[in-house]
């Protein structure tokens, strides 16, 4: 079942949309409907929640210097 939808769009943009629809031999309604279909069909990307990983490897000692450890690792890896 089709239903009407009222949109407020800048007049200049409406002119451009009408030209585009005419070039594509379709209606503005079809363009809008297809666009909305694509929007709702996309499943949102799941974001990695770092907080869920917290504690998985245990806690680092209080005096742990991650910058120093990283530098030493890179020197060893790349032979600098």
Q: pLDDT digits over 6-22, tens only?
A: 999 999 999 999 999 99
Q: Which residue has the higher pLDDT, 28 or 62?
A: 28
pLDDT in tens, 53-74: 777 777 878 888 889 999 999 9
The total number of structural domains in the chain stands at 1
Distance CA 17, CA 34 (A): 14
**pLDDT reported for residue 48:** 75
Distance CA 50, CA 68 (A): 23
> Which residues form the domain of 19?
11-41
20 belongs to a structural domain = yes
31 belongs to a structural domain = yes
Average of per-residue pLDDT values in the chain: 87
80 belongs to a structural domain = no
């Amino acid at each position: 079942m089709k239903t009407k939808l009222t949109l407020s769009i800048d007049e200049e943009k409406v002119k451009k949309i009408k030209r585009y629809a005419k070039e594509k031999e379709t209606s503005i309604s079809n363009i809008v409907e297809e666009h909305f279909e694509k929007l709702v069909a996309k499943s949102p990307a799941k974001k990695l929640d770092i907080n869920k990983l917290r504690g998985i490897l245990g806690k680092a000692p209080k005096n742990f210097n991650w910058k120093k450890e990283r530098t030493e690792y890179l020197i060893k890896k790349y032979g600098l």
